[in-house]
Chains A and B, each alone.
Chain A
């Protein structure tokens, strides 16, 4: 737009200068246009706010007031009906799953869920699921496939729970099967990392046709603390590890791991949850529209090809 205006101004100035060679005094008019041109050519955008440090984003992603899965479901979807239990062992409150209405149709929504206070956090295990949580997620996602409901997954977990019971019930196998089975589901899957995308516990809900990420969310192979303890031999060096791991949405977009960064309100989603939810809901509608027309065969093929292509190496 402004380029067009600049070109037009330049043409006018040129014409006036040619005319003035014939004895006409157009200096005042020329000066006025040149001033206008100069103003247009000087960048007048306000200075961008300083880019947040990666560690600051980690803190925002973990902010105790940040909207969680159920908050977004409530703000974006309607008539959420939660389903419980994996039909094998128990119900894991660290993962919520159920039916809802979105954009005029029935959808299935699955997500990891943190607690808002100490009591709820005990019940929800700080958003760290056990195998039964992932098996419930898969059960409900298969229900979605049976009825051709699109699936939305929301990820906000420090990781799968490191505990004895989790290992006894083969948490590794549960994660593996979710990853594998999600490649087979013949319905659209839209993944969103809304807070912490913690390693295997995140990718086990992270296979989809679109992978979106909120601006201040993080997604990483290991927590900054874990990486610092192992590679830097000091968990206190987590800020340094956070920068080294390149775990922010912007980095992940560059790596081709995610499709879109959803902007958050200034200061973070916790300062204005409805506005954050509105941006997310709009993105969901847009991406759902884009993948809905694709045949199931093509959908699973594209999904596999997308992940098959990820990786960087030298020939």
Chain B
């Protein structure tokens, strides 16, 4: 038993409901219209009024992409430890923070790895959940990504990583930084096995994850509305003390600067993956 709370637990995808779904209506942050939440959820979390994207949880993302009932969670049964004994300013310990994130999301970790089929093509899918401490990469995420890649290499099926992350997790200090090297080291196993790696960058894909595994795809796609970059906008603004271009670090910016192969609308992402996967069969 983990000393601080829940041990690893598997998630039944269709049972995971959002905590914030008790309210029936929500206000769109873009058009300010009141919209019916159920309609938003049915519409892939896209505002039915103006088309603004709201974030997807990892279970929602899996439901969007995988063939019905094809997903099988193969995550390693591990949860975060507390190597630094980290306590933040409010006196909240890192284990307490993890426990709170588990309760709020219904997930054991910030990433889920599993076998799935997409349009019939077998794949290994690794999906981050931004709600879980900003989808940040600590030892658990690094291990799960490696596990997913090793599984994909062994089964000779494509590896798909869907990033939604603020970067490395500060609470695990240097060990989080080392996950950048660890995942990059493992990525070679896919190349050696001639297994394709499709990296999908969503809102947001930044810092330590963008500067490692997310940027090492054979094919790199940005979801429309993605935020892609290394240093956060606010930090750059503070350093330079000047305004940044309007489209800075947006999906369009990434495309125009040659950082991604294509930008894909959320509702087309599944079809786009099927088109790409076909080439590697």
Genuine A/B complex = yes
| Interface residues of A, Cβ cutoff 8 Å to B | 160, 162-164, 166-173, 175-177, 179-180, 183-184, 199-200, 202-204, 206-207, 219-222, 226-227, 230-234, 237, 244-247, 251-252, 255, 257, 303-304, 307-308, 310-315
**Set A162, A227, A308, A313: member contacting B236, Cβ < 8 A:** A162
> Complex Cα distance A169/B230, Å?
11
With A221-B170, A313-B81 in contact, is A180–B208 under 8 Å at CB? no
- Chain A residues near B36 (CB-CB < 8 A): none
Q: Are A170 and B81 in contact, CB atoms less than 8 angstroms apart?
A: no
Residue of A nearest to B143 (CB): A311
- Chain A residues near B253 (CB-CB < 8 A): 167-168
Chain B: residues with Cβ within 8 Å of the partner, total of 66
- A sample of 10 inter-chain contacts (CB < 8 A) reads A160-B230, A172-B207, A176-B184, A221-B173, A231-B88, A244-B84, A304-B188, A307-B178, A313-B79, A314-B78
Q: Does B185 sit at the interface, judged by CB under 8 A?
A: yes
B136 CB, nearest partner CB in chain A, Å:
10
Residues of chain B in range 143-171 having any CB-CB distance to chain A below 8 Å: 143, 146, 168-171
**Set B77, B88, B175, B207: member contacting A200, Cβ < 8 A:** B207
A241 CB, nearest partner CB in chain B, Å:
9
A239 CB, nearest partner CB in chain B, Å:
13
Q: Are B240 and A255 in contact, CB atoms less than 8 angstroms apart?
A: no
Residues of chain B in range 69-125 having any CB-CB distance to chain A below 8 Å: 77-81, 83-84, 86-89
Q: Are B178 and A313 in contact, CB atoms less than 8 angstroms apart?
A: no
Q: Does B30 sit at the interface, judged by CB under 8 A?
A: no
> Complex Cα distance A314/B182, Å?
18
Q: Are B78 and A315 in contact, CB atoms less than 8 angstroms apart?
A: yes
With A162-B236, A220-B177, A307-B185 in contact, is A227–B170 under 8 Å at CB? yes
- Chain B residues near A173 (CB-CB < 8 A): 210-211, 215, 259
Residue of B nearest to A240 (CB): B89
Q: Are A167 and B236 in contact, CB atoms less than 8 angstroms apart?
A: yes
With A172-B229, A313-B79 in contact, is A244–B86 under 8 Å at CB? yes
A125 CB, nearest partner CB in chain B, Å:
11
Q: Does B274 sit at the interface, judged by CB under 8 A?
A: no
Q: Are B2 and A310 in contact, CB atoms less than 8 angstroms apart?
A: no
Q: Are A231 and B170 in contact, CB atoms less than 8 angstroms apart?
A: yes
Q: Are A246 and B257 in contact, CB atoms less than 8 angstroms apart?
A: no
Q: Are B80 and A313 in contact, CB atoms less than 8 angstroms apart?
A: yes
With A255-B174, A307-B182 in contact, is A171–B211 under 8 Å at CB? yes
Residue of B nearest to A303 (CB): B185
With A312-B81, A314-B80 in contact, is A203–B181 under 8 Å at CB? yes
Residue of B nearest to A244 (CB): B86
> Complex Cα distance A177/B87, Å?
34
Comparing B9-17, B18-26, B57-65, B242-250, the segment that makes contact with chain A is B242-250
B144 CB, nearest partner CB in chain A, Å:
10
